[in-house]
Structure 1
Amino acid sequence: MHKKLFIPGPVEVSDDVLQKLATPMIGHRTKEASVLQRSISDKLRKLMYTENEILLSTSSGSGLMEGAVRSCTRKRAAVFSVGAFGDRWYQMAIANGVPADKFASEWGQPTTPEMVDEVLSTGNYDLITITHNETSTGIMNPVDAIAEVVKKYPEVVFCLDTVSSLGGAKIEVDKLGVDICIASTQKCLGLPPGLAACSFSEKALNAAKEVPNRGMYLDLLNLYNYIQKKDYQYPSTPSLPHMFALDYQLDKIFEEGLENRFARHIEMAEYVRNWANTHFEMLADPQYASNTLTTVKNTKGISVAELNKALGERGFTISNGYGELKEKTFRIAHMADTTLEEVKEVLVLIEEILGL
């Protein structure tokens, strides 16, 4: 029996989108492939509110996160973390020999503009990484306020992880001054995992030109140069099934309307937050709570594993806490094509199972 997913990726994928993955193959060096990949880039520019180039990568979002910190750090990276995935970005830097320092917030608390200003004012850093939406803690960072601080330091390349928020929250890349905005398909975009995308600004491009050892597969400068030269084709064979599906799904997203889509995510988030605070407690500071998933403190000492087992018998699944938060929290995603009615359905089941 298929379990309906309320986890922070992979998400439920609609049947029509799944069918697009079965589109007959084309040659990846054909004009048809160029048209497809250019179409996706144009649509992602619209979704990201940017004029910058779009790079596609047959990888998870982590691939482009690693590519960004390795390709564009000339001097030293300042990595801000509000949970497990900010920590991962720091680990990527260190594993690639990129000089970096991590600035972590207490879990459940955001990265603040004041923290960023204090760090960048030292002049020690020429690249900054920010997690927009952290799925381990349910934090959505105040990126608008952070962006205003980063603009004071025009030499700094601004990297933003929107893996679990692009398509579920409004992210105006150019207005924010983001140089590399990273997303992947298996969360708010509503596709299976396996494809990632990022915006790539002229500042990021010029920074990468100064970095001698950028790797190969995830060399963002090489990807950029290749698609310019080869008309939106890529140096390695891409996942064409994902691209057929993403091109189709982006049309569906625009058909819903971006503002409508963002409003639907907020409506679901507010409902789950109210439910969490009624029966348990939220982990995240309420004013920085994510619009795409909610991390709930296990204040009643329930067995999250047993709850999920019971949910699974009814055809649903949520997510246990991540890492050290396992059994201390549980997570309910409300992203992609999920509806408020579906969210209400799983919450009612949880109440029945727990006798709330």
Structure 2
Amino acid sequence: MTRLFIPGPTDVPAETLAAQTRPMVGHRSQTITDLIAKLQPGLQEVFNTRQRVLIVASSGSGLQEAAVRNCVAGRLLVCVGGAFAERWFDIARSNGLPADRLDVDWGQPHTPELLETALRSREYDTLAIVHNESSTGVENPVRDLAARARMVSPQLVILVDAVSSAGGVRLDMDDWGLDVVVTSSQKCFALPPGLAFAAVSDRALARARSIPHRGWYFDFVLLDHALSQHTTPATPAISLLYALEVQLAHMLSEGLERRYERHQRLATRVQAWTQERLSLFAAEGYRSKTVTAIANTRELDINNLNAYLARHGMVIANGYGPLKNHTFRIGHLGETQLDDVERLLGHIDAFLDGQP
């Protein structure tokens, strides 16, 4: 078995994997109705919301597209500082929706002051932000950004990509005034890929009702109506729902505060090691608690490093997009423990020191 120290997918606990082997049932059966009803309170707890949390069989990118199609009635402003923020912008443009970029250098966060200037320069009805930009290792100050955005434009619909943060990093949807928060199953939730979740506010749902061409599969209004009856418009990923039931119970049993603290400890350890051996790519004060991006200051051959780690049953991630080979990334999310990280860092130390 190869231990995954990549930004996702992450390792899945054996009990969670085993849940997928339960016998198949009809997707309109009482079993599934009861299961969907049971899952909702736990998901709301993870998102810190009393709003509905939609469950869809897709990647997180699917619900990013859903958020854009359901919420952009006028013009979208996208905070771009990495590859996954670029995706927000690309989705809007590919759907023929007006969108502008607010760019910062990769590795830097967006600041409330910069955002306020952009919001005052033109009329926007929707804002898209990435909470944890796993391509650069930056955690954006979403709480502060949302507060400043709401001050400038109270009716703005705020969309947040929390794909690599929700379930591992504190994110208070209601208190922070967020409207759509999207994540997927294979990151901090430590599930197999295939499920995506979107916490959707009343404001976002009202906006969706005002937009005539939302599509069908990702229609928030249709999904919300189905959820109110504890079902889904289309056939759900039943085996993954069984896995979600088990894993969600595990997450809540650990306790979300303890889970957040564990992710912080892992990040602190990896980033301290990085500062001793190489260099951190993300700006100080805005470094991710789930994925560390390391500047490749030694010009290491990342493929050779991964080949070495593979002999010890481990894998890390190269840099993403234009950062490939210029950075590499260590994922420390999901069910990763400090002992796991220590073993990984020990093997990277051995590689750096030329040990066979």
User: Could you say whether these structures have the same fold, taking a TM-score greater than 0.5 normalized by the shorter chain as the test?
Assistant: yes
1:206 maps to what in 2?
A: 206
**1:213-224 aligned within 5 A:** 213-224=213-224
Pairwise CA distance, 1:120: 1.9
1:121 maps to what in 2?
A: 120
The answer to whether the aligner puts 1:306 opposite 2:304 as a matched pair is: yes
Alpha-carbon distance in 2 for matches of 1:259, 1:202: 27
Give 1:195's aligned amino acid: L
User: What's the secondary structure of 1:102's corresponding residue?
Assistant: strand
The answer to whether the aligner puts 1:162 opposite 2:162 as a matched pair is: yes
The answer to whether the aligner puts 1:262 opposite 2:243 as a matched pair is: no
1:173 maps to what in 2?
A: 173
Match of 1:282 among 271, 280, 283: 280
2:42 maps to what in 1?
A: 43
Alpha-carbon distance in 1 for matches of 2:87, 2:168: 22
**1:159-207 superposed Cα distances (whole Å, 9 cap, x missing partner):** 1111000111011100000110111100000001100001111100110
Contact 2:15 2:246 in 1 (8 A): no
Give 2:33's aligned amino acid: S
The answer to whether the aligner puts 1:297 opposite 2:295 as a matched pair is: yes
1:144 maps to what in 2?
A: 143
**1:315-354 superposed Cα distances (whole Å, 9 cap, x missing partner):** 1000000011111110001001000110010010011012
User: What's the secondary structure of 1:183's corresponding residue?
Assistant: strand
Alpha-carbon distance in 2 for matches of 1:81, 1:238: 33
Give 1:71's aligned amino acid: N
Give 2:84's aligned amino acid: F
Stretches (4+) displaced over 4 A: none
1:341 maps to what in 2?
A: 339
2:111 maps to what in 1?
A: 112
Contact 2:314 2:344 in 1 (8 A): yes
Pairwise CA distance, 1:151: 2.0
Alpha-carbon distance in 1 for matches of 2:227, 2:173: 21
Alpha-carbon distance in 1 for matches of 2:312, 2:90: 38
Give 1:146's aligned amino acid: L
Give 2:202's aligned amino acid: E
Contact 2:157 2:179 in 1 (8 A): yes
Moved more, 60-69 or 38-47: 38-47
Pairwise CA distance, 1:122: 3.5
Sequence identity percentage: 39
Pairwise CA distance, 1:123: 4.9
Alpha-carbon distance in 2 for matches of 1:100, 1:38: 37
The answer to whether the aligner puts 1:323 opposite 2:334 as a matched pair is: no
Alpha-carbon distance in 2 for matches of 1:38, 1:98: 35
2:271 maps to what in 1?
A: 273
Contact 2:56 2:195 in 1 (8 A): yes
Alpha-carbon distance in 2 for matches of 1:216, 1:144: 32
Q: Which runs of 5+ in 1 are unaligned?
A: none
**1:287-320 superposed Cα distances (whole Å, 9 cap, x missing partner):** 0000001000000011011100111121100000
CA-atom RMSD in angstroms:
1.0
Give 2:230's aligned amino acid: Y
2:70 maps to what in 1?
A: 71
Alpha-carbon distance in 1 for matches of 2:29, 2:10: 31
**1:34-69 superposed Cα distances (whole Å, 9 cap, x missing partner):** 111122221110111101011111000000000001
1:59 maps to what in 2?
A: 58
**1:219-251 superposed Cα distances (whole Å, 9 cap, x missing partner):** 2222112322xx121111110111111111111
Alpha-carbon distance in 1 for matches of 2:26, 2:103: 45
Alpha-carbon distance in 2 for matches of 1:123, 1:20: 50
Give 2:137's aligned amino acid: G
Give 1:219's aligned amino acid: D
TM-score (norm 1): 0.97
Give 2:37's aligned amino acid: R
